[in-house]
DNA sequence: ATTTGGCACTCTCAAGCCGCGAGTGCCAAG
DNA sequence: CTTGGCACTCGCGGCTTGAGAGTGCCAAAT
């Protein structure tokens, strides 16, 4: 009963010391000794007393020493406790929020908006930023049009909202006249407009089965064409990274081999995509410290993510990757606010 | 007369030795001593004799020794001479060409094609690949259509070729009916289709001045709208990079600070863009060794580029960035062929 | 019972030293 | 002109050493 929430095991003093230690290590990047703690923790204890506490903390697996006579550094568990119970999150000052808001203008088109968000995350935190591009399942469809390109090729135009238009080129099974295409578009517009892509797709599939016999072939073709048009959300399996190079600044990641692997992973994106997708259903900011993310390559890193919403649905995730000793008190609100602002920007153009 | 083409100053023997030295250094990455050269150059000379030649080469600034008792390594000038006069370019074997050709299928849309090219360059050479996206000035226009989105917003669709469609959203000064938009489109299609963007733009500007008075206002509006539509080739100022992480493998670039700057430059792209633009008018493969590129960040790198053409016009440049000791004999034909294949792929879908 | 000063101990890190190996330059003999 | 020989230089890995930082533990003090 006393070991699952280790916080109850910890005296105020131990908590205070752990907190000071973590803060100091995050700031300086160097092991913290008892002497330093006795000076900075404001507890008016001698170094010797502090050493006793540190020995306890070490036994609990919250801190460790790189070698006998270095100070202590937090372990992953130490960071975890720190983040969960000891951290005081600094609210961003309104000037910073204002800057973020300006750079995430609803006027931008989706891609630019996402790139801007990723760039901002990296610039503001001095770490790597990442944004999972928004899923479109719940984006509602405003209008659908066909445009004949050549005999069997037709351009499908899906108008999503004020600032976003998608188009796809489809290969048809036979030649349709411009008039036929217009009819098909009208037919589809009648029954899909204002609905979201996912439900449109479902409905089209349903209708296709239901009316196959007693329906004229043009309608059937229309449905099929519509289905094809809204089917694959191509390119949606993507994530936009920015500022990876910032990670070169952190000495603790300096094993060239590790760095290489990390950058290779950034290049491939697959792993990052998996990471982000796995926390798309979490509520609010989520933090993975060290191995918690489950991805080997990120063992020495921490990841802070937050989902963002449009129209009440989570449509994507964004976050940053940095060293485990990142300034969580700043990073957490930044990621949080950026997610809200990105959501808001996407939302306000529906 | 004897100093501009230093090749005439060099005895056959010296050339042979320089060549062997450069090849060996490119392969091994380590200073080459006289002993090694005497064994590998196939000249049947003792190490002592070779030392004499090496002293000459050093005096000419073609090689240098990192310290008294290491072997010699090529200087930038040495690489230059090697590349200009001593290099035997290996033709790619047809299997490799075939692979490249398959991955650069004309079926892909422009963006995918460019990304594929960049990825291939990096994967095949194990260095960083880069592709300047094609300019569209000379891309001919097939069709132009307008689609009304809301009162004053209209979607302009520019059909460029079989696999490429551009669209832009324009804000209008007044409300046009769907019929008016159709008329405008017809008017524009009559006079622009099949011409390239640049000349279309010029013509529209000319007509705008010429007919301002005795023309009905709809035509004038059509011209203005058309002008706006083809005006800015947005997003064309771009370059697609790939495989930057490969550069982490080369020990000679291992000063973390330099690497950081390099990756920062990759991130910003501006500098890379400048580099590529500066060699867009060169014919065929161009090589910058060390400082020759004029960009500080690339002092320890070499750059190999080649422009690619569509319809007889150069529309872009591609290339690779790697260490000065890159295997030029392989890299040069790879860059060359990739440029040709990319051009061909873009061309065959006009 | 907790806190503290003291002390012995451990370990890293930087500096210095040493000998090896690789390579050079030069010279005199071939 | 070429070559073997020889003295010399220099970087590198290994070893030692001393300083500094920090720990753990104990006995005395509060």
Q: CA B126, CA B130: separation in Å to the nearest integer?
A: 13
- CA B301-B303-B305 angle, to 5 degrees, is 175
**CB atoms A165 and B155 under 8 Å:** yes
Please report, rounded to whole angstroms, the spatial distance between the CA atom of protein residue A51 and the C1' atom of nucleotide C3. Answer: 12
**CB atoms B149 and A143 under 8 Å:** yes
Q: Looking at the C1' of nucleotide C24, which residue has the nearest alpha carbon?
A: B69
Question: Which residue in the set A150, A248, A264 is minimally distant from B256, CB to CB?
Answer: A248
Stronger pLDDT, A131 or B159, i.e. the higher one: A131
Cβ of residue B48 lies below 7 Å from strand D: yes
Task: Determine if the pTM surpasses 0.85.
Answer: yes
- Per residue in A287-338, pLDDT tens? 999 999 999 889 889 999 999 999 888 999 999 999 999 999 999 999 999 9
Please state, in angstroms and as integers, the Cα–Cα distance from residue A177 to each residue in A148, A208, B51, B159, following that order: 8, 22, 81, 18
Q: Comparing A175-189, A316-330, B105-119, B313-327, which segment has the lowest mean pLDDT?
A: A175-189
Question: Chain C: nucleotides under 7 Å from a protein CB?
Answer: 3-6, 9-12, 21-27
Question: Which residue in the set B150, B242, B263 is minimally distant from A248, CB to CB?
Answer: B263
- Which residues in chain B have Cβ-Cβ distances shorter than 8 Å to A254? 256
**CB atoms A267 and B169 under 8 Å:** no
Please state, in angstroms and as integers, the Cα–Cα distance from residue B36 to each residue in B39, B43, B81, B252, following that order: 5, 12, 21, 21
- Which residues in chain A have Cβ-Cβ distances shorter than 8 Å to B254? 256
* Helix B197-210 with B178-192: angle, nearest 10 deg: 110
List residues of B whose CB lies inside 8 A of any A CB. 142-143, 145, 147, 149-150, 153, 155, 157, 159, 162-163, 165, 167, 169, 242-245, 248-249, 254, 256, 259-260, 263-264, 266-267
Whether the Cβ atoms of residue B161 and residue B346 lie closer than 8 Å to each other: no
- Local confidence band at B318 (pLDDT 50, 70, 90 cut-offs): very high
Please report, rounded to whole angstroms, the spatial distance between the CA atom of protein residue B180 and the C1' atom of nucleotide D19. Answer: 88
List, in sequence order, every beta strand (DSSP E) within chain A. 63-64, 73-74, 128-132, 143-150, 153-161, 164-171, 239-242, 286-289, 301-310, 313-323
Helix (H) / strand (E) element for B125: namely helix B110-125
- Which residues in chain B have Cβ-Cβ distances shorter than 8 Å to A128? none
Q: Would you say residue B69 has pLDDT above 60?
A: yes
**CB atoms B263 and A244 under 8 Å:** yes
**CB atoms A245 and B256 under 8 Å:** no
**CB atoms B155 and A157 under 8 Å:** yes
- Which residues in chain B have Cβ-Cβ distances shorter than 8 Å to A155? 157, 159, 165
What sign does the CA torsion over A249, A250, A256, A257 have? Answer: negative
Residue B273: closest CA among B298, B239, B241: B239
What sign does the CA torsion over A25, A29, A31, A34 have? Answer: negative
Residue B2: per-residue pLDDT: 36
Percent of chain A as helix, strand, coil, to the nearest 5: 50, 20, 30
Report the percentage of chain B scoring pLDDT > 70: 91
Count H helices, E strands: chain B?
Answer: 12, 10
Stretch B44-59: mean pLDDT, rounded? 90
Stretch B274-299: mean pLDDT, rounded? 92
Please state, in angstroms and as integers, the Cα–Cα distance from residue B159 to each residue in A149, A157, B66, B109, B232, following that order: 8, 12, 58, 13, 16
Residue B230: per-residue pLDDT: 66
Q: Which of B267, B269, B297, B349 to mutate to test the interface with A (most CBs of A within 10 A)?
A: B267
Residue A5: per-residue pLDDT: 44
**CB atoms B248 and A256 under 8 Å:** yes
Q: CA B127, CA B115: separation in Å to the nearest integer?
A: 15
- Local confidence band at B77 (pLDDT 50, 70, 90 cut-offs): very high
Q: CA A86, CA A12: separation in Å to the nearest integer?
A: 11
User: Read out DSSP for B213-281?
Assistant: SSS-HHHHHHHHHHHHHHH--TT-S-EEEE-GGGGGG-GGG--HHHHHHHHHHHHH-HHHHHHHHTTTT
Residue B132: closest CA among B238, B286, B14: B238
Stretch B109-122: mean pLDDT, rounded? 94
Please report, rounded to whole angstroms, the spatial distance between the CA atom of protein residue A249 and the C1' atom of nucleotide D15. Answer: 34
**Which chain A residue shows the shortest CA-CA distance from B151?**
A162
**CB atoms A243 and B267 under 8 Å:** yes
Which residues, listed in sequence order, are joined to residue B280 by a DSSP beta bridge?
A: none
* Total Cβ atoms within 10 A of residue B235: 11
Residue A4: per-residue pLDDT: 41
Please state, in angstroms and as integers, the Cα–Cα distance from residue B210 to each residue in A350, B198, B203, following that order: 42, 19, 10
Whether the Cβ atoms of residue B40 and residue B20 lie closer than 8 Å to each other: yes
Q: CA B7, CA B19: separation in Å to the nearest integer?
A: 12
Q: Would you say residue B3 has pLDDT above 60?
A: no
Q: Looking at the C1' of nucleotide C23, which residue has the nearest alpha carbon?
A: B69
Q: CA A124, CA A23: separation in Å to the nearest integer?
A: 20
- CA A78-A80-A83 angle, to 5 degrees, is 110
SS3 B209: helix
Residue A145: per-residue pLDDT: 86
**CB atoms A155 and B159 under 8 Å:** yes
- Which residues 78-117 on A are within 7 A of strand D at the CB atom? none
Q: CA B341, CA B336: separation in Å to the nearest integer?
A: 9
Please give the nucleotide, over all strands, whose C1' is closest to the CA of residue B37. C23
Residue B88: per-residue pLDDT: 92
Please report, rounded to whole angstroms, the spatial distance between the CA atom of protein residue A61 and the C1' atom of nucleotide C9. Answer: 24
Please report, rounded to whole angstroms, the spatial distance between the CA atom of protein residue A15 and the C1' atom of nucleotide C13. Answer: 32
Residue A1: per-residue pLDDT: 36
Whether the Cβ atoms of residue A329 and residue A88 lie closer than 8 Å to each other: yes
Question: Chain D: nucleotides under 7 Å from a protein CB?
Answer: 2-5, 8-11, 20-26
Whether the Cβ atoms of residue B85 and residue B46 lie closer than 8 Å to each other: no
Q: Which of B121, B130, B149 to mutate to test the interface with A (most CBs of A within 10 A)?
A: B149
Residue B216: per-residue pLDDT: 62
Stronger pLDDT, B129 or B145, i.e. the higher one: B129
Stronger pLDDT, B273 or A142, i.e. the higher one: B273
Residue B131: closest CA among B258, B259, B269, B245: B269
Helix (H) / strand (E) element for B184: namely helix B178-192
Whether the Cβ atoms of residue A320 and residue A118 lie closer than 8 Å to each other: no
Residue A73: closest CA among A135, A23, A108, A133: A23
Which residues surround strand C, with CB < 7 Å?
A 44-46, 48-49, 52, 66-70; B 31-36, 47-48, 51, 54-55, 58, 65, 68-72
Question: Which residue in the set A157, A254, A264 is minimally distant from B245, CB to CB?
Answer: A264
- Which residues in chain B have Cβ-Cβ distances shorter than 8 Å to A151? none
- Local confidence band at B212 (pLDDT 50, 70, 90 cut-offs): low
Q: CA B112, CA B219: separation in Å to the nearest integer?
A: 37
- Which residues in chain A have Cβ-Cβ distances shorter than 8 Å to B162? 149-150, 153
**CB atoms B249 and A260 under 8 Å:** yes
Q: What residues in chain A have per-residue pLDDT under 50? A: 1-8
Contacts of B265 by beta carbon, 8 Å cutoff, 6+ apart:
B271, B272, B295, B297
Radius of gyration of chain A (CA): 27
């Amino acid at each position: 009963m006393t070991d699952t929430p280790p916080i109850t095991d910890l005296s105020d003093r131990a908590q205070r010391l752990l907190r000071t230690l973590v803060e100091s290590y995050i700031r300086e990047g160097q092991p913290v000794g008892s002497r330093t703690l006795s000076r900075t923790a404001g507890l008016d204890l001698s170094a010797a007393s502090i050493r006793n506490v540190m020995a306890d903390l070490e036994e609990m697996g919250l801190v460790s020493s790189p070698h006998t006579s270095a100070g202590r550094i937090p372990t992953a568990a130490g960071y975890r406790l720190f983040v969960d119970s000891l951290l005081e999150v600094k609210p961003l000052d309104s000037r910073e929020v204002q800057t973020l808001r300006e750079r995430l203008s609803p006027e931008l088109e989706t891609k630019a908006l996402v790139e801007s968000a990723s760039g901002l995350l990296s610039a503001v935190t001095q770490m790597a930023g990442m944004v999972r591009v928004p899923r479109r399942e719940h984006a509602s469809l405003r209008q659908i049009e066909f445009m004949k390109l050549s005999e069997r090729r037709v351009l499908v135009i899906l108008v999503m909202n004020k600032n976003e238009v998608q188009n796809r080129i489809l290969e048809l099974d036979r030649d349709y006249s411009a008039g036929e295409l217009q009819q098909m578009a009208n037919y589809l517009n009648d029954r899909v407009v204002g609905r979201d892509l996912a439900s449109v797709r479902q409905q089209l599939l349903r209708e296709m089965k239901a009316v196959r016999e007693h329906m004229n072939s043009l309608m059937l073709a229309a449905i099929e064409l519509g289905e094809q048009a809204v089917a694959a959300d191509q390119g949606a399996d993507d994530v936009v990274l920015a500022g990876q190079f910032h990670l070169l600044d952190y000495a603790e990641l300096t094993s060239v081999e590790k760095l290489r692997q990390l950058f290779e992973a950034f290049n491939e994106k697959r792993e990052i995509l998996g990471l982000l997708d796995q926390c798309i259903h979490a509520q609010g900011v989520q933090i993975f410290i060290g191995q918690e993310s489950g991805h080997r390559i990120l063992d020495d890193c921490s990841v802070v993510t937050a989902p963002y919403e449009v129209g009440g649905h989570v449509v994507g995730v964004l976050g940053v990757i940095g060293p485990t000793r990142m300034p969580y008190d700043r990073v957490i609100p930044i990621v949080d606010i950026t997610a809200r602002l990105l959501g808001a920007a996407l939302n306000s153009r529906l």
